[in-house]
């Protein structure tokens, strides 16, 4: 995380600079239109990359322009962190129980952290593991033979 720290901090400051002033927001919206960026709603830096580059050209006091290598780092980190974000949102839902999703997603997180396909089962909640085993979605037991959970 220390490697990406500089790129993320620069990007955070760029967003704060633009969002901190109505004039900057107006200029940035023009840059979005001119660069034909493909995003809606809140500023998402990767989707607005071209607009941010154009904004840096137009606004001479904007000092938060990222280099090509820094954009590559931000792009890599977004791809890496996206599954964690998705799983966190899934666990944070309050409109229905998510205990049956726990085990499979914890394994997915572990797989991402290990960056390989070989994992140990580790120390997970026995009760939540049983919930997954009993969940018909996973159908772990079929015709007397145990189906592997490696697809999780």
pLDDT value at residue 147: 47
pLDDT in tens, 89-144: 877 776 665 666 777 777 777 777 765 545 455 555 665 666 666 767 666 555 45
Q: Which residue has the tokens 């996973």?
A: 138
pLDDT value at residue 86: 83
| H/E stretch holding 146 | strand 145-146
Average pLDDT over residues 65-81: 86
CB atoms within 10 A of CB 31: 22
pLDDT value at residue 62: 93
pLDDT in tens, 21-65: 999 999 998 998 899 887 665 557 788 889 999 999 999 999 998
- Reading phi first (left if > 0) and then psi (alpha if -120 to 50, else beta), residue 7 is in alpha
pLDDT value at residue 38: 74
């Amino acid at each position: 995380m220390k490697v990406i720290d500089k790129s993320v901090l620069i990007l955070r400051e760029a967003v704060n600079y633009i969002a901190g002033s109505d004039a900057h927001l107006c200029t940035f919206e023009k840059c979005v239109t001119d660069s034909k960026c493909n995003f809606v709603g809140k500023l998402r830096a990767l989707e607005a990359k071209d607009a941010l580059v154009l904004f840096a050209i137009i606004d001479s006091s904007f000092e938060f322009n990222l280099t090509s290598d820094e954009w590559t780092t931000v792009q890599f980190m977004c791809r890496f962190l996206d599954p964690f974000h998705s799983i966190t949102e899934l666990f944070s839902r309050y409109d229905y129980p998510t205990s049956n999703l726990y085990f499979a997603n914890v394994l997915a997180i572990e797989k991402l952290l290990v960056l390989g396909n070989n994992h140990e089962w580790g120390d997970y909640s026995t009760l939540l593991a049983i919930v997954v085993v009993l969940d018909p979605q996973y159908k772990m037991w079929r015709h007397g033979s145990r189906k592997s959970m490696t697809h999780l």
